[in-house]
Amino acid sequence: MAQQHTVLVLGAGSWGTALALVLARNQHNVLLWGHRAEHIAAIQTERQNTQYLPNISFPPNLTATTDLSQAVANADEIIVVVPSHAFRDTLEKIAPDLQSHARICWATKGLEYKTGLLLHDVARDTLGSHYPLAVLSGPSFAAEVAKDLPTAVTVASDNKDYAQALVRLFHNQNFRPYTSDDIIGVELGGAIKNIMAIAAGIADGLGLGANTRAALITRGLTEMVRLGLALGGHQGTFMGLAGLGDLMLTCTDNQSRNRRFGYALAQGDSIETAQDNIGQVVEGARAAQEVFRVAQKLQIDMPIVEQVASVLTKQCTAQDAVQALLSRQPKQERL
């Protein structure tokens, strides 16, 4: 068993809780922080996260807290799993209490709202260059991870020692992390796949069939690669767990809140109603406009992202978006 650490997981939603469970099962001392006092109080009392992952009992070495300052001061390793719109604010809050030897990894997927920055740029801007940084991403539904079902993910860092340390921290017989040095590619894969899942949900909600879904996934991957290469990502990353793997998972299974969101829009729900019914952050809805804005700036053709962004800014209906894609001129298949 790996050396025991005190690990702080920031974000008590489904994904943060699932990762906290993995770490606790690996015999680390784990603190799970959440900002809602009533939610954390319920977790402390019930010894499970009934709101997001019911019927999964917490091990004794997993403790929930709302005391951010004390938790950060006691942590050797920090795993950030807050929504992307709260990412910068969370890092700013923890910065004063970070131990000098602390290391920060995030499992947040998306771009920064309004700036379009990748999250490693936000982290560097907020924390400077002192702390080792990494991102964890890949095809992983929280409920299945919490149930200890086999899962493989990618851990990317420009610090090889830290990447290997994270593998040792998380690895067990049912949770297998692979390492990468392509932070940009892993981050983009995690952000763009959510947008494509909304598109796949829309297509399925309109009853367009399996052929359409397969085409969306394939052409969605092409768009992911186009932007990824333009921003400095590696093509191989997009063919791996954090790219194609996560894209396939999120576009084809209704555990994906992004897919369910798109399906609801196609069935006639408003954006607000669809979001409220899901009850958790739909990261693809936030990412679509940011990714499209970056693509426009770099003159990268991303028609699926463009149409999803148009639906979410209420410039067109789901049906209109599909028609716009179908009416594009035929051309040679290429990236």
Check pLDDT > 50 for residue 303. Answer: yes
Check pLDDT > 80 for residue 328. Answer: yes
Catalytic choice (114, 147, 193, 331): 193
Contact 233, 256 (CB under 8 A): no
Confidence of residue 237 (pLDDT cuts 50, 70, 90): very high
Q: Catalytic annotation on 193?
A: yes
H or E stretch covering 287: helix 283-298
Check pLDDT > 50 for residue 2. Answer: no
Average pLDDT over residues 28-46: 97
The confidence score (pLDDT) of residue 165 equals: 97
Partnered with residue 79 across adjacent β-strands are 9, 105
**Nearest residue to 178 via CA among 163, 193, 190, 192:** 163
Average pLDDT over residues 166-184: 98
Q: Enter the tokens of residue 188.
A: 């983009």
The percent of residues above 90 in pLDDT, for the chain, comes to: 93
Residue-wise pLDDT tens digits, 150-166: 999 999 999 999 999 99
Q: Which amino acid is located at 181 in the chain?
A: D
CA 118 to CA 124: how far, in whole Å?
Answer: 10
Contact 205, 265 (CB under 8 A): yes
3-class DSSP state for residue 32?
Answer: strand
Exposed/middle/buried for residue 207 (C-beta within 10 Å: 0-12, 13-18, 19+): exposed
Residue 271: count of CB within 10 angstroms of its CB:
16
The percent of residues above 70 in pLDDT, for the chain, comes to: 99
| C-alpha distances in Å from residue 264, one per residue of 31, 209, 275, 285, 318 | 35, 16, 9, 13, 10
Contact 104, 78 (CB under 8 A): yes
* Domains of the chain, earliest start first: 6-181 (3.40.50.720), 184-326 (1.10.1040.10)
Contact 128, 121 (CB under 8 A): no
Confidence of residue 329 (pLDDT cuts 50, 70, 90): confident
E strands along the chain, which residues?
A: 6-10, 29-33, 62-65, 77-80, 103-106, 133-137, 151-156, 175-180
Residue 44: count of CB within 10 angstroms of its CB:
14
Average pLDDT over residues 57-66: 97
CA 176, 166, 86, 114 dihedral sign is negative
The confidence score (pLDDT) of residue 4 equals: 67
